[in-house]
Structure 1
Amino acid sequence: MSDTRPRGESFDYAGATVELVDAATVLAAARVNPVELLRRAGWPAPVQRVDLTVASADRPAGPVHTFAAAISTAEEPLSKERIRKLVLGNDPVGLLLAKRIEAGDPIATRIVDGVGAAAAAAYKKLGLDRQAQPVAGKEPGTLADAVVGLQAQISYDETGTVVRLHAEVPRDDVTPAHLQAFVGLTLQAVLELTGPDALTGRRFVVSRETLATAPVTTQEVTLDMVGGLVEVVSELRQIAVSFRHPEAMARWGARRPQGLLMYGPPGTGKTMLSRALANEIGADFREIRTPEILDKWLGGSERNIKQIFRDARRYRVPTLMLFDEFDSIISYAGAGGDAASQAINAVAGIFKQEMNDLIEANPNVIVVATTNFPHRVDDSLIRSGRFDVKISVPKPDDASRAEIFRKMIRGLIAAHEAPGFQMFADDLDVMTLATASHGMTGADIKEVLRRVQLSKAMQDARTGGHAAPITTDELLASIRDLLGPAK
């Protein structure tokens, strides 16, 4: 069977179905970087979230795999979701504001930021943010799985709202069974908070990838969905970790990177990576387009850039600001003496100062700039201190294209296949597809799939639902069509 289909094993626990996808891959990936699982699962009250992490550590006796879980019953008082529940609601005005914020309307964003901060302050003053403490006073202990001999130490946060589990297994001995056992122990701890029947009928997918059960929009993309670009994704994960753990940053007096420049050829996924980083952080996404800044009237562009940063200094929740096609906004600073060049220089100068002020004023904001032409951006604009991280996003090589095909096809299978309907053949050869698509970007591969999907849908419409699954040969034909006769 093709590896485009997720390799998962299911088991039942307390009435819930748990699917463990590619456990061996999870353990292998954890040797390099921590792998976070279950973050987007839904939980019965009073549990709000469960963070389960698999990582690697060196111990005096040798390297180990570490399994850690944090079960929280507390909401974050100033989280994006909670503020919007408080402010927006489901009335017509709230829905209209929500739509405008999603579209990047700066006025609607300022309204909700201001009202949301006031609502959160009032919420706290009235004592409504105090959470129940269902685990307060309990003593640390041990949970054990007798089948594989895994023992997890269990402890309780001093606030009484977080239960923590921790287990270690020597790296040479660890198996997927240990991961399954730790998941089971984590669910056992959840049941102690929720009651013995609380998980009945629920389904949990334990995977380092988010396999959608509905079509994934650009707004919902995560780093796990990104195919290839292993080094780029790894660096973005490090940035996300620094944002998700402000207490560690504060303890060490560390300043996390707040400026990130991504550069590379068109279609390599720079904008998608920016959205994925925002989702990984749990941040609002604010895209600043060229027309929002550049103005034909004298002084208009300068006012616009000042207003954008003025708004950014007031954001009260983590926010990623994307200046897409940065070179078209601020190009060749210092070049030319005509009026247009002077206007560009003025915008560039204001950007420098505003960027400096923003980093000092609001640690909740990260600024991402993307460009296809890094040579068009003056070095002083992107120096360290403004843009601490600079990442090249290249065209994918053969292995990366195979990974892009695999992940895109997996996503389509998860979103569209149903009993009685098979979208892709079982014997797809992604390496053959990767070799044939030499020079293509992720955007090109997405177009290859779109064309075949459309062709199959039209065939389905003509034959009354009798179109066969998509084959390797059909995808190869689509690749040849897109590359054209010159290739």
Structure 2
Amino acid sequence: MTESFQYAGATVEIVEPGTILAAARVNPVELLRRATFPAPVRRAGLTVSSADTPAGAPPTDSPGLGRGPVHVFSAEISTATDDLPDRDRIRAVVLGNDPVGTLLAKRIAAGDQITTRIVDGVGTAAVAAYKKLGLDRPGEPAVPREARTDVLADAAAGLQATVSYDADGTLIRLRAEVPRDEVTPEHLAAMVKLLLQAVGTLVPGDEPLAGRRYVVARESIPKVATTTQEVTLDQVGGLTEIVAELRQIAVSFRHPEAMARWGARRPQGILMYGPPGTGKTMLSRALANEIGADFREIRTPEILDKWLGGSERNIKQIFRDARRYRVPTLILFDEFDSIISYAGSGGDAASQAINAVAGIFKQEMNDLIEANPNVIVVATTNFPHRVDDSLIRSGRFDVKVSVPKPDENGRTEIFRKMIAQLAAVHERPGFTMFADGVDLAELGRLSHGMTGADIKEALRRVQLAKAMQDAHTGGMVDPISQQDLTASISGLGF
């Protein structure tokens, strides 16, 4: 869904605002970084993130805030003519404009790591010396960096942003907070308007942004998740149809008003089944992040208890808690068959306990969505035949997704996304992680029988080998090549 509006003469389009807000609960989302603005504005950007404000924290500048988790909208507008990062600015000073400096600059641009380390080392030493002498910012007035603050507000959305200015007037910052359980796409649109309003105060004319078009959307190439908790559907490769289906489920979850208008009911439960390592748990976490939901994982020890009646009490308590959640929550029953497999006619105590747990589970799933529409249940299993059909019938688990091992095209896509994400995170000027000419299609062909987890392990082994070489040689290491990747795949024994 895309929202469009006109502001200060400009056309603004916000692509999937609900998805942006949901993604911001996991990782900061940067917006408008590549947008261009009229002079004297050199750059402007908006970041949406999440913060867990401790209970009892002092009030913020926004009335009623400061307690509990919040969405944070922060924007920066710069009119500075020198926007070079500190490292690049230091290099420019060290290299100068003489022939030697020009030659060294060309070698740095060509990726010469030794030259880069020497120049950066000289620059770092110079900065340290300046700081020790109190000359780290020569010519800068000794006044507070944020000497003045204002407030901008959008009354319609109820959003209020504090505005702070650097002492030299070249940087303006806007910041607003909204409680996480109250944030809506209207707040995002309001923050975009306040950002453009601040830009407009710097640009002459009645309609300073006339004829311009701004698209507010997430970056097309996501950075790699630092933990599995941060994974998003954008980062999933080789499962195009499954990802598309999960996106539709996320949309149905985030738009209950549309569901109610048509008398439709979104899926209450999803069963994912397939071989180990195909990404079932990862997909569950990614779906939670796409929805913007908390993630609650249930494992076998939380349910099965050796004491009589303990297992039944545990499963009842899990669903009792589920009915009380007041924020979107995805409950994952991982390795579902080991938790709640139907034991048939077994007469031993363990079989009777599992049968009892299965019966309670079926009862609780009958009306969970009516009792609490904030909850969605996902179950994953490697052995679907071990789960009784009555447990996973429609009405309890409305969607059943087979997650197979990827085919050759799927493996190629997984390699493409994983390599692109690693390069986006780790590559820097002067450091290239992957060599030119890596043949992704060939890697997809060579990795026959591998899962996404296997491909991740193949890349991990190559990264570790390169890091160890780097540690021993002091940086004299070639980028990861096709040969390196091929050897790693072969080493896994596929």
Q: Give the structure-2-normalised TM-score.
A: 0.61
Paired with 2:485 and 2:219, the residues of 1 have a C-alpha distance of 27
Structure 2 contact 235–417 (Cα < 8 Å) conserved: yes
CA shift for structure 1 position 341: 1.0
Structure 2 contact 342–386 (Cα < 8 Å) conserved: yes
Amino acid at match of 2:337: D
What is the aligned partner in structure 2 of residue 20 from structure 1? none
Structure 1 contact 41–204 (Cα < 8 Å) conserved: no
* SS of the residue 2:314 aligns to: helix
CA shift for structure 1 position 456: 0.4
**RMSD after superposition:** 3.8
Paired with 1:426 and 1:49, the residues of 2 have a C-alpha distance of 29
Structure 1 contact 460–466 (Cα < 8 Å) conserved: yes
Match of 2:483 among 470, 473, 487: 473
Paired with 1:288 and 1:249, the residues of 2 have a C-alpha distance of 28
Match of 2:200 among 193, 196, 203: 196
* SS of the residue 1:367 aligns to: strand
Amino acid at match of 1:242: S
Deviations 1:375-413 (A, max 9, x none): 000000001110000000000000110010011111111
- 1:327-338 equivalences under 5 Å are 327-338=337-348
Q: Does 1:339 align with 2:349?
A: yes
Paired with 2:321 and 2:484, the residues of 1 have a C-alpha distance of 50
Amino acid at match of 1:85: T
CA shift for structure 1 position 235: 0.5
What is the aligned partner in structure 1 of residue 53 from structure 2? 85
* SS of the residue 2:200 aligns to: coil
Structure 2 contact 229–285 (Cα < 8 Å) conserved: yes
Match of 1:229 among 239, 249, 254: 239
CA shift for structure 1 position 334: 2.5
Structure 1 contact 333–344 (Cα < 8 Å) conserved: yes
Structure 1 contact 413–424 (Cα < 8 Å) conserved: yes
Structure 1 contact 41–49 (Cα < 8 Å) conserved: no
Match of 2:283 among 246, 249, 273: 273
CA shift for structure 1 position 355: 1.5
* SS of the residue 1:344 aligns to: helix
CA shift for structure 1 position 35: 11
Structure 1 pair 39/307, CA: closer, same or farther in 2 (3 Å)?
closer
Paired with 1:389 and 1:161, the residues of 2 have a C-alpha distance of 31
Deviations 1:183-241 (A, max 9, x none): xxx97x66444443799xxx9995564522x7532111110100011110011000000
Amino acid at match of 1:359: I
Match of 1:361 among 362, 371, 386: 371
What is the aligned partner in structure 2 of residue 422 from structure 1? 432
Structure 1 contact 215–412 (Cα < 8 Å) conserved: no
What is the aligned partner in structure 1 of residue 119 from structure 2? none
Match of 2:409 among 368, 392, 399: 399
Q: Does 1:323 align with 2:291?
A: no
Paired with 2:201 and 2:428, the residues of 1 have a C-alpha distance of 29
- The structure number with the bigger radius of gyration is 2
Deviations 1:34-59 (A, max 9, x none): 899866899xxxxx9989xxxxxxxx
Q: Does 1:211 align with 2:215?
A: no
**How many residues were matched structurally?**
338
Structure 1 contact 399–434 (Cα < 8 Å) conserved: yes
Amino acid at match of 1:433: L
CA shift for structure 1 position 332: 2.7
Structure 1 pair 394/132, CA: closer, same or farther in 2 (3 Å)?
same
Structure 1 pair 196/216, CA: closer, same or farther in 2 (3 Å)?
farther
Q: Does 1:462 align with 2:472?
A: yes
Q: Does 1:255 align with 2:276?
A: no
Deviations 1:405-452 (A, max 9, x none): 011111111111111111111211110000000000000000000000
Paired with 2:30 and 2:219, the residues of 1 have a C-alpha distance of 17
What is the percentage of aligned positions where both structures have the same residue?
70
Paired with 1:293 and 1:419, the residues of 2 have a C-alpha distance of 51
Amino acid at match of 2:261: R
Structure 2 contact 22–292 (Cα < 8 Å) conserved: no
* SS of the residue 2:492 aligns to: helix
- 1:12-51 equivalences under 5 Å are none
Paired with 2:297 and 2:411, the residues of 1 have a C-alpha distance of 28
Paired with 1:198 and 1:287, the residues of 2 have a C-alpha distance of 50
Paired with 1:363 and 1:222, the residues of 2 have a C-alpha distance of 23
What is the aligned partner in structure 2 of residue 26 from structure 1? none
Amino acid at match of 2:339: I
What is the aligned partner in structure 2 of residue 182 from structure 1? none
Q: Give the structure-1-normalised TM-score.
A: 0.62
* SS of the residue 1:375 aligns to: helix
CA shift for structure 1 position 359: 2.1
Amino acid at match of 2:473: T
Structure 1 pair 206/424, CA: closer, same or farther in 2 (3 Å)?
farther
Structure 1 pair 340/191, CA: closer, same or farther in 2 (3 Å)?
closer
Structure 2 contact 249–267 (Cα < 8 Å) conserved: yes
